[in-house]
């Protein structure tokens, strides 16, 4: 065992805020009122006025900043190092994007302020729309959806609206067994039945099976390309033809768009509707789980159904057009996660067309380099060339009783965030690795060394892997206990009874 990247250091303990609270402490200041005070009970009616908020925190400013700073030190983050989560595209989040999103005229813009005083915001949205259309090769776009799954819902509602106009919205959405969980969940929320289709022996869409599955009941196919194995669906154009011939549509989950930008465009290979994840491909930060941005791009046939409002040029100004009789309506209040849109546009402006293509190349190169280095040590269940991510199986290690989840936890001791564990479901014990273009050779070599070292540990002392992590301040967490008797909020402990 040789751990090169990290060594332990001390990390502060910290209570919950509620346990730190004591009456009268405060971290805020408010100005003196410049208007007469109002008696709440008189203004609102006594029955509407609440008593004090029991248990709410009462801490000083120093306690507050220390509290959150201490908590932050318990997290791993991109800023610490490689975050090889497959399908999540954890790339560097440029700090200039954070700065520009806080530009006063943007951050303080009210969504209902007059259009004449919103031209800067509308210009940003229009600029981003045109860049994303060029990148995807699609005809029209909405920036309204708040995240990937929200974009999926929007896209499937668009398909429903078009087919309904053609006379029959149909009943079923087909989804490959390699798909993200959001795909089937989305189809169900949109009112469709899910038809699962098996992948072929290479992990790709089985064209014959698709041909057999598409009938008058099928509204569309949801596909991820490259798929969740990181493999490009090379027969995508034929798959689209099968669907189109039978009056169905092709939806593309854009989660893996980081493999395609500047190289291939969904609009050129038969996709009718797709979403993008701005928080993946376009570098807006994940923030511990959000916010995201899930623009949906479509071909002409679906354009009339896009959510309201849409940007429209009126003379030399931008305006928001609500007069779209065929629109599916709104999927979210206002116009989308505007602050996320600002960050994504900043990323695109920084890279330019050539820079975006170079990023794609680096991402794919990094994934292939990892594949070559680790192939001798871990099983590769699907051997086709991969793009931006590579999926190994724990098959060999499982014979020693060590599973993908254990290897992932052991990676933590080596100073890395784990890869994506046990997904896609078509791979037994999947280890899904996506380095992104962010990582240079030094960091990647350390990562490869770590996984090789773990493979060796499994042969000689598997216990050390099975009980990992060993060097974190929190050892393996009991998730079963958490679910068996859920404790979802802090409650004051009764005072101990004193005799």
Partner 1 sequence: MLEACGVETPEGLFAHLPDAVRLQRPLQLAAGISEYEIVDYFRRCGDRNATGYASFLGAGVYAHYRPVLVDTVVSRGEFLTAYTPYQAEISQGTLTSIFEFQTMICQLTGMDAANASMYDGSTALAEAALMAARLTSKGGLLVARTVHPEYRQVLKTYARNQGMPIAEFGYDQATGASDLDDLGRRLNPLTASVIMQSPNFFGVVEDVNGAADLAHHGGALLAMGFTEAVSLGLLEPPAKADIIAGELQSFAISPSYGGPYAGIIATRDKFLRQMPGRLVGETTDTHGRRAFCLTLATREQHIRREKATSNICTNQALIALMATVFMSVYGKQGLRELAVQNLAKAHYLAAKLPLRFSGPFFNEFVVSTNGRSPEELNSALLEKKIIGGLPLGRFYPELSGAMLVCATEMARREQMDALASVF
Does the protein bind partner 1 through residue 403 (CB under 8 A)? no
Distance CA 184, CA 197 (A): 12
Give the orientation angle of helix 338-374 with respect to helix 119-136, to 10 degrees.
30
Total residues contacting partner 1 by CB under 8 A comes to 191
* DSSP 8-state class, residue 300: G
Decide: is 333 part of the binding site for partner 1 (CB under 8 A).
Answer: yes
Tell me if 372 contacts partner 1 by CB under 8 A. Answer: yes
Candidate list 163, 241, 369, 377; residue touching partner 1; CB under 8 A: 369
If binding is defined by CB under 8 A, does position 320 make contact with partner 1?
A: no
Considering only residues 2, 323, 460, 474, which one is a binding residue for partner 1 as defined by CB under 8 A? 474
The only residue of 288, 315, 325, 376 in contact with partner 1, by rule CB under 8 A:
288
Task: Please identify, using beta-carbon distances, which residue of 254 and 292 lies nearer to partner 1.
Answer: 292
Residue 332 tokens, joined: 């979210």
Q: In this chain, which of 82, 297, 346, 455 binds partner 1, going by CB under 8 A? A: 346
In 3D space, the residue among 414, 390, 393 whose CA is nearest the CA of residue 402 turns out to be 393
CB of 499 to partner 1, least distance (A): 28
How far from 20 is each of 31, 62, 492, CA to CA, in Å? 26, 12, 12
Query: Residue 168 or residue 459: which is nearer to partner 1 going by CB?
Result: 168
* H or E, element range at 471: none
Contacts of residue 172, defined as CB under 8 A and 6 or more positions apart, other chains included, come to 192, 193, 194, 195, 217, 218, 219
Q: Give residues 437-456 in contact with partner 1 (rule: CB under 8 A).
A: 441
Q: Please report whether residue 186 would count as binding partner 1 according to CB under 8 A.
A: yes
Of the CA atoms within 13 Å of residue 412, those in its CB half-sphere come to 22
* 497 near partner 1 (CB under 8 A): no
Nearer to partner 1, 167 or 288 (CB): 288
| Minimum CB distance to partner 1 smaller for 206 or for 226 | 226
Taking the least distance from each CB to partner 1, the nearer of 10 and 30 is: 30
Contacts (CB under 8 A) with partner 1, residues 212-251: 232, 234, 236-237
128, containing H or E segment: helix 119-136
Please tell me whether residue 324 binds partner 1 under the rule CB under 8 A: no
Comparing CB distances to partner 1, the nearer of 326 and 459 is 326
Is 432 a binder of partner 1 (CB under 8 A)?
A: no
Q: How many CA atoms lie within 13 A of 129 on its CB side?
A: 20
For partner 1, the binding residues in 10-69 under the rule CB under 8 A are 14, 16-18, 21, 24-28, 30-31, 33-38, 40, 43-45, 47-50, 52-59, 61, 64-65, 67-69
List 244, 396, 428, 476, residue binding partner 1 (CB under 8 A): 476
Our finding on whether 348 is near partner 1 (CB under 8 A) is yes
State yes or no: residue 268 binds partner 1 (CB under 8 A). yes
Assigned token pair, 444? 């990647």
Q: Which of residues 142-181 bind partner 1 (CB under 8 A)?
A: 146-150, 152-153, 157, 160, 180-181
| Nearest distance from C-beta of residue 266 to partner 1, angstroms | 9
Among residues 163, 185, 209, 398, the one that binds partner 1 under rule CB under 8 A: 185
Q: Is 330 in the site for partner 1 (CB under 8 A)?
A: yes
Question: Which residues, including other chains, have CB under 8 Å from residue 343's CB and lie 6 or more apart?
Answer: 97, 98, 100, 101, 278, 282, 283, 284, 285
261 to 240, 255, 281, 337, 398: CA distances (angstroms):
20, 12, 9, 22, 37
Q: In this structure, are residues 309 and 335 in contact, taking their beta carbons and an 8 Å threshold?
A: yes
Q: DSSP for 331-371?
A: SSSTTS-HHHHHHHHHHHHHHHHHHHHHHHHHHHHHHHHHH
**262 within 8 A of 357, measured Cβ to Cβ:** yes
Task: Indicate whether 113 belongs to the interface with partner 1 (CB under 8 A).
Answer: yes
Nearer to partner 1, 172 or 393 (CB): 172
Nearer to partner 1, 61 or 215 (CB): 61
190-209: contacts with partner 1 (CB under 8 A): 190-192, 194
Judged by DSSP in three states, 184 sits in helix
481 part of the interface to partner 1, by CB under 8 A = yes
Residue number with CB closer to partner 1 (307 or 498): 307
Q: Please tell me whether residue 8 binds partner 1 under the rule CB under 8 A.
A: no
- Decide: residue 459, CB within 10 A, 0-12 exposed, 13-18 middle, 19+ buried: exposed
In which residue are the tokens 């100073």 written?
A: 415
Nearer to partner 1, 201 or 498 (CB): 201
Does position 383 bind partner 1 by CB under 8 A?
A: no
Asked whether position 375 contacts partner 1 by CB under 8 A, the answer is no
- Alpha carbon 5 to its chain's center: 27
Is the CB of 16 or the CB of 208 nearer to partner 1?
16
Q: Does 77 bind partner 1 (CB under 8 A)?
A: yes
Helix axis angle, 441-460 to 338-374, nearest 10°: 50
Supply the DSSP symbol for 379: B
Name the minimum Å distance from CB 44 to partner 1. 5
């Amino acid at each position: 065992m040789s751990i090169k990247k990290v060594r332990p250091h001390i990390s502060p303990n910290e209570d919950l805020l509620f346990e730190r609270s004591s009456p009268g402490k405060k971290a805020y200041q408010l100005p003196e009122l410049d208007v007469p005070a109002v008696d709440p009970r008189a203004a609102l009616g006594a029955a509407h006025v609440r008593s004090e908020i029991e248990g709410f925190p009462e801490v000083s400013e120093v306690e507050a900043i220390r509290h959150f700073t201490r908590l932050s030190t318990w997290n791993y983050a991109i800023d610490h190092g490689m975050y090889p989560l497959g399908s999540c595209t954890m790339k560097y989040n440029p700090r200039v994007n954070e700065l520009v999103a806080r530009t006063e005229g943007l951050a303080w813009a009210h969504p209902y302020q007059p259009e004449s005083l919103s031209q800067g915001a509308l210009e940003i949205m229009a600029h981003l729309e045109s860049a994303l259309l060029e990148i995807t090769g699609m005809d029209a776009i909405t920036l309204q959806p708040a995240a990937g799954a929200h974009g999926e819902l929007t896209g499937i509602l668009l398909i429903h609206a078009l087919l309904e106009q053609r006379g029959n919205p149909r009943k079923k959405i087909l989804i490959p067994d390699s798909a993200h969980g959001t795909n089937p969940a989305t189809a169900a929320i949109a009112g469709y039945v899910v038809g699962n289709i098996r992948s072929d022996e290479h992990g790709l869409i089985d064209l014959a099976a698709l041909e057999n599955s598409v009938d008058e009941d099928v509204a569309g196919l949801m596909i991820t390309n490259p798929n969740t194995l990181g493999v490009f669906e090379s027969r995508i154009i034929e798959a689209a033809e099968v669907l189109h011939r039978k009056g169905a549509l092709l939806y593309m989950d854009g989660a893996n768009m980081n493999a395609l930008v500047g190289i291939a465009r969904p609009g050129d290979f038969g996709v009718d509707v797709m979403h993008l994840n701005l928080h993946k491909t376009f570098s807006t930060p994940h923030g511990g789980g959000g916010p995201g941005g899930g623009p949906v791009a479509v071909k002409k046939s679906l354009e009339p159904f896009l959510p309201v409002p849409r940007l429209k040029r009126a003379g030399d100004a931008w305006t928001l057009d609500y007069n779209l009789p065929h629109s599916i309506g709104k999927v979210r209040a206002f116009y989308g996660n505007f602050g996320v849109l600002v960050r994504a546009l900043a990323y695109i402006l920084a890279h330019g067309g050539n820079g975006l293509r170079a990023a794609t190349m680096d991402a794919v190169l990094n994934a292939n380099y990892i594949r070559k280095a680790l192939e001798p040590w871990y099983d590769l269940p699907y051997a086709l060339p991969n793009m931006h991510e590579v999926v190994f199986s724990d098959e060999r290690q499982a014979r020693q009783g060590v599973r993908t989840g254990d290897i992932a936890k052991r990676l933590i001791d080596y100073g890395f965030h784990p890869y994506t564990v046990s997904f896609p479901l078509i791979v037994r014990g999947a280890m899904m690795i996506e380095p992104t273009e962010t990582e240079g050779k030094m960091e990647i070599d350390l990562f490869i060394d770590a996984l090789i070292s773990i493979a060796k540990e499994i042969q000689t002392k598997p216990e050390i892997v099975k009980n990992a992590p060993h060097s974190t301040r929190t050892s393996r967490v009991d998730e079963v206990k958490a679910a068996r008797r859920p404790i979802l909020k802090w409650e004051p402990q009764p005072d101990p009874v004193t005799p």
